[in-house]
Structure formats: C-alpha cells, structure tokens
Structure 1
C-alpha cells in the first residue's frame, strides 16, 4: 500500500506577540503529512487554521453563505441578518487590507460562509473524515508504533475527530474555493485575525494554484512527502506572517483585548492529550514555516516570498535550515521490494521518505517519555540528513512488522553523530545491545518489537526491525 493520507489540522500554540514584525510569537500549527504522517484530509482540498472560538453558540441556527458581491444576496432559507451584513463589511475591509499588505490582488470573488460549532462538528464527520476509515487509522497507528511514536492500539481516528472539533476556527477550501469562519456569536479580534490568515490562503491559491501549480494534491504527495511538508510550511508561514503584519498594521485596540481575553481563558484538553510527536508535527508548518518565511522576508520582503512560491522548497531540511534553500536538494535512495526476500508472505503497509524533521521526532518525541534523548542532541543528530528511504511491511507468519530505514548523511562525520544519537535512543528503548561493533553493527536480539539492527557504513546508516535475526542479511542493501 502506498496510500498517503494528509491531515490539515491546525492547532493553537502560543500567544500573539504584538508590536514587532521581526519576531513572530503567534504560531498556530497544522499537521499534514506523509505516508508516516498519517492524516485524513488532503491539504489540497482544505487548509484549516486553529483558533477555538471564545464562545460556542449552542443556540445558533444554520448560517448563510456570504459572497463577496457588493450587495449580498440572502440565502433562500434564511435572510441575511443585520449582524451578518456587518460581519460581511468587516470581511471586505480585511480582504482589502490583506491584499494590499501581501501585494497580491484578489483576482475573483471568494465565497464566504459562517459556521457554528454544531455545524463544524457535522462538517468534520461528513467531509474532513469521509475518506479516512477507522481501519486505515488503525493501520497508520501500527506503522507509527514501529518507529516508537505511538502505541499500536492508539485511536487516531477518534483523536482527529475530537481535535478538529476542538481546534478549527476557520478554513479555506482550495477545491471549492470557499472560506469558512467558525463563529461563536461574535466576530472579534480572534475571528478577524483568523480571517486575515485564511484570506491569505485564497490569494495564494488564486496566484499560485495550490493544487496544480504547487502540486499540493494527494497524488503528488504520495510521490514526494518531503516536498509537500516543505511547501505547506511555506504556505502557512506566509499566511502567519501576513496575519501578524495585518494585526500590527490594522488591528484595533479591541482586537488586542479580544485576543488577550481569549488566551487568558483558553484550554485545549484534546490537543494537550495528543501524543508528543503529533503536537510537534501539528506545529511544524507554522512555527518552523514562519521562521523560514521570515528569513526570506528579511532579505527582500514579499518579493523573496513570491520567488519561493515560484521555486518552492523541497524538503523539511530546507525549512529547518533556510540557508540550505534552494540548492541543497536531498539525494534519492531506494529500498528493494521485500516481498520476495524473506521467503514468506509480506504485505506492504507503508513506504516513503522520513526526512530531517521526522528523524528528529523519532529521537526526541517517542511515545514513552523515557525513550527520548535530549532535544538539542536530537536536532544536531538529524541536522546532517541528506536523504533516506523507509519501508514497513507486515509479516503474517510471524505476526510482526518488518521495517527498514536507509539514510544518507552529508558526511561520514554526520553519519557518526546520528549513530551516536540513535544508539543512545536505542539503549533507552531496548536496553543494552547484545552486539556493539562498528564493523558488524548494533544488535538487539530479543525486544518487544522483534530483532533490531543498526549499522553505519561510511556516510550511510541502516536501521532494521525484523522478526528473526536470520532476516537481517537478506534485507541489507547491496554492498552492505
């Protein structure tokens, strides 16, 4: 199976930092990602921003679609109220301000719709998760558990359903070209700043074509998950920077009071209960994306950001190290088809590229806290990443997974740094190795995960998890 499920879940992470454009302190995050970064809703059809509304309007009725026409037409089932008309005027003004700040004119009207919390929940169940089954979520959890990021029986589907309903405050649908604002009875500072962010996505889509021009669509992302991770960081970083720029230039004192009041009472029990690596991954396109975009902005303003949309980053390494953009492209590695190598039935669960970001997450954000090595050590170890390929299979005979991760590092020294960090992580996860040898590799013979093997060869490393020690030489790449 080579199915890539993309999640556009946005999570609220930090307080707004008011008064400075050179420091972006509000980072609202999003998970999306690759085969391993399992998730139900394609970014190509949905970009969501997380900001939970200050109040849930439990008594609200269905809300009308609002278009950008000068005189809004009432819904056939419900006339446009005076409050809705006032919100429409605010939206129109924010659009004008954002387009001027971003330097991208609106090319065609964007449909807009208000949504209450009950309608959001229904939308989550009927649209966000319609193509993602509980069975697929269970398989994703099994894959993630091999890399130590989740327990194999973790309920991913239930988490996504609850987290969408808790966190989403607005979203732009790049398939239908519509924007939605989740409203809690007001259209205050949080909703206004969220709208500035979402409208930036509409401008990006009109000028750069998110689905076809930037290739943020399910088929392309199946083929190149690292590219999709990098481009989403560009997309979200740009929108976050523009949101902050709008708030700095056009936000009112009341907007700031609304935001401060929101954060003073904000809680996110579902997000807080999510596994550590998921919380970090939700943040990546915003936190690291803002840092990447801000580096470009400091060089030549939005001209540099527009140039990045024309020549997008292709890896999480570029996002984490803006100085490596655009020239330091990852190497391409491949793994054999394991199904004929072990002389017993294997079914492929997943195959893809881990990337620098997920390499770091494995080391620093494992499901068990006592498996995690120091954050700075994990970041340094992952920073020498040059390319990789991983594959996960299920051995029906042994009722265990079969996994291989082949990584290439920018130098032999970088490979050695990763080896040292990985073996430190491995000791925390599996105990002392039964074999520890630079030439023959590290071997853990009896673990709850099977037989674990790790070896460095020049500037490459190989990590295997197999049911039997005799499987190891069969799965080693040629030359190992």
Structure 2
C-alpha cells in the first residue's frame, strides 16, 4: 500500500506470509538500456514483438519503448493499458523476474476509497486485547483509543494505492477528479503483484519478526521503485508524475505509530541493496525463504543471517488473580527506538536523512543500538491489564543507557512520580496512567506494569 504523509511517500503492505524457495534461477540483472524514444507523450517505432513472452516485454510493449500518454485530462482505457504494460515490462527488467500473468489495475477516486469499508476498531478477543496491551507497553497508543482507531487516523486520506492479494488486483487512488496514475505508485504495487506471483508475502510470529519480514517485501518493492526512478530521464522516457497532495495532516499522537511502521520502508531498501550486492537477485530471492529474524538485522545488515536475537525468558510469577494471556511477543530494536523517539527519550534529530541513497532515515541511537533481545508478556485480572517487558542488552553499559532513557520518559514526558525505589506512578489523566517498576540486573532491564502500585507485585513478584 502506498501512503503519503509528512511530505514523504511510504508504502505499507497489510498482508504477508512465509514464502517457499523460488523455483527459477535468475542471475543479477544490470541492464544497459537505450531508449528508442526521447520523451513522453510521443511514440516512435519499437522493436518487433517477440514470438514468446520474454523479460522486458509485456502485452505488446518493451521496457524501453515510448508511449503516447497525456494525463492532463485523465487516462483513457488505451492509455492506461499501455502505461500498465510498459511499467510491468520495466519492473520485470529491473527485478530480473518474469510476470506470470497480467495484473489488473483499477483507478478509483479519493471519495470512493473513503467510502469503502473502514478498519475494525473494536477489541473483542484475547488476541486483540494482547495487541492493545503491546502498543500501550511500547508507549505509542494509550488507553484513550484502540490500535485500530490509531491506524484509521493514520491512513485517513493519505493512501495512494495498494495491492490486494485476495483480489489479485492493484487499486490506485487518484488524487484528481479525472483518473491519473503516479508511475512510482504503479511500479511499487506491481512489484508486490510480482512477489505474489513468484514468491509470497512474509509474516513473522512476533511484532519484531513481522516488521523484519515486511522489510523484505517492502524493501524489495522500494528498491526496484528507486532504481526505476534513477533511469527516468537518463535512460528511459517516463510519464510525468501528477501533482499529489501531501495527504492528511498527521497529529502528533500518530507520529509514534508512523515511525514504527515506517521502518521497513526506510531501512528495507538499504537492506535489500546490501543483499543484492552480496549475490544479485538470487540472494534477494532467497530472503523469501530465509527472511531476517529481527529489525536489528534490518538496521545492521551485517548481522544477517548469523547474529540472531538472544532468548529472553519471563517466568510467570503473577499472583492468583492475575493470569498471563496471549503469546510472548518480541518488540525489537526498531520499535524500541520508535518508542523513545516518540516520547522524546532521545534526540529527535537522530531521525534524519542518511548518506545512503537507499535508506531514508536512521533508526539507531545510543539508547537502543545495543539491543540483543526482548520478551513482552501480558497479564489480566478481569478488565484490568498489565505486562512484563524484559530486555537484554549487549553490555551492562547498554542496559544502563536504555534504563536511564526509559526513566526519563516516565518522569519528564509522562509526569510520573517516583513513589518507591525503581517504582513510578503516571497520573490517571495520562493515556498511559499506570504504575511502573523499572529494574536492571547486569545487562537485563525488566519493566513491570500494573494499574496501581500495589498490583505490581501481583502481576510479577520481585526477584529477591
């Protein structure tokens, strides 16, 4: 899915699952193309159509063929067909993988998109409750709204397009009254369709591994998209991009969610570039059967594939009225960074452009770059909820750095009072109004949360 916000374009995919090893063999493709035309609109003679489908040719159009497109009055059916076919040819030429079938593309208005089915904002199941508790524990979505509502606010009027695996279709959301298509959005979503045809989407079993898996699919699509754009003008004639609005304003309380879900679209392309440099598209293809385990590997590709997360155990030491529910989660380095960034527990200037052309932002900070592993578990007592989040760090100093930053967030940003040694109380007026116990043992930091200070021991008894 393509979403525009904060004057940036980021692409969000809502589905994904593990993929088998590709059945085909591709060598790295680095084409040296010479365009047969010089500008769009306009057409010139093109090479003859091949007798059989081949890489770089789709539905009558070569990847370097000029096409007559004029979006000033919207796209008619023949223009859209030509635009899609040539973009498919270009995507497969860059990616070194052939489409198996033509991808349907529907262009709808912003009004049509907004009138479609909204996101479910209810919380009914134990799984949904555990998800709410996780995002609250990351200090990103408080008790004043649900995760579904936060996502609904974030997407709002900003989505530019998406690929639906269920419908096997791309939907482009036109910003204009007449149907227009942005070449970047189209190319990006076509890569997702190609992934669906040749591999499948990736889904992790924890919050952290889910973001890491998404980094493969989104990083792959963004990497191809960027290499497509690099060729426009210099090697290829390209359809002019229509003007786009900056999208709906993102309220400050949504910025933490945005920074969390943006990690695959920021560092994903750089990760894919690193893997491509190691072994071309064959190496990238293998990621669909062996994706990165953690966002730590996404942030630091040198850690892939051998440096996995440390196992962190959280023994159940809750009282008889508090019960653990949901599965154990792993938050990961990128979301821990997003938490501190959002709550100003670190200098926000660290979230800035890097020199790497394939990495838009920097998800590293002194308070989080020593992450080695973590486990997050949820507890409930009737309608009351609590959690335990245990984090392992590479060194004692790393643990001290994080614990200090986290305590700063509680006291300076959430107005918590220190009521006992290592125990803090955030006022009920805050969306994160709860009691917190923050302890460190060597290179391990343990955070316990409960509605009231007296309930902390019942959620997770202190280690003597």
TM-score (norm. length: structure 2): 0.72
For residues 161 and 102 of structure 2, the distance between their equivalents in structure 1, rounded to whole angstroms, comes to: 18
- Decide which of 348, 354, 373 is 2:331's aligned counterpart: 354
Q: How does 1:77-476 map to 2 (within 5 A)?
A: 83-125=76-118, 129=119, 132-135=120-123, 139=129, 144-154=135-145, 156-161=147-152, 163-183=154-174, 184=176, 191-210=182-201, 214=202, 216=203, 221=204, 223-250=205-232, 258=241, 261-262=243-244, 266-272=245-251, 275-337=254-316, 341-344=318-321, 346=323, 348=325, 351-366=328-343, 372-375=345-348, 376=350, 379-396=365-382, 400-428=384-412, 429-431=414-416, 433-436=418-421, 442-444=422-424, 447-448=427-428, 449-467=433-451, 469=453, 471-473=455-457, 476=460
For residues 342 and 451 of structure 1, the distance between their equivalents in structure 2, rounded to whole angstroms, comes to: 17
Encode CA deviations 1:150-208: one digit per residue, 9 max, x unaligned: 331226545544544512222112233222222345565x5222111111111122222
Match of 2:4 in 1: 12
Query: Does the 8 Å contact 1:12/1:167 carry over to 2?
Result: yes
Residues 42/145 of structure 1: CA separation in 2 closer, same or farther (3 Å cut): same
- The DSSP-based 3-state class of the residue aligned with 1:206 is helix
Q: Which runs of 5+ in 1 are unaligned?
A: 1-8, 16-25, 33-40, 46-67, 71-80, 437-441
CA RMSD of aligned residues (A): 3.6
Between 111-120 and 156-165, the greater mean CA deviation after superposition: 156-165
Query: Does the 8 Å contact 2:390/2:446 carry over to 1?
Result: yes
Task: Please report how far the alpha carbon of residue 435 of structure 1 lies from its aligned counterpart in structure 2 after TM superposition.
Answer: 4.2
For residues 9 and 319 of structure 2, the distance between their equivalents in structure 1, rounded to whole angstroms, comes to: 47
Match of 1:59 in 2: none
Greater fraction of residues in helix: 1
For residues 100 and 433 of structure 1, the distance between their equivalents in structure 2, rounded to whole angstroms, comes to: 60
Task: Please report how far the alpha carbon of residue 401 of structure 1 lies from its aligned counterpart in structure 2 after TM superposition.
Answer: 2.9
TM-score (norm. length: structure 1): 0.70
- The DSSP-based 3-state class of the residue aligned with 2:76 is helix
- The DSSP-based 3-state class of the residue aligned with 1:104 is coil
Q: Which runs of 5+ in 2 are unaligned?
A: 19-57, 61-73, 351-362
Query: Does the 8 Å contact 1:124/1:161 carry over to 2?
Result: no
Aligned pair count? 390
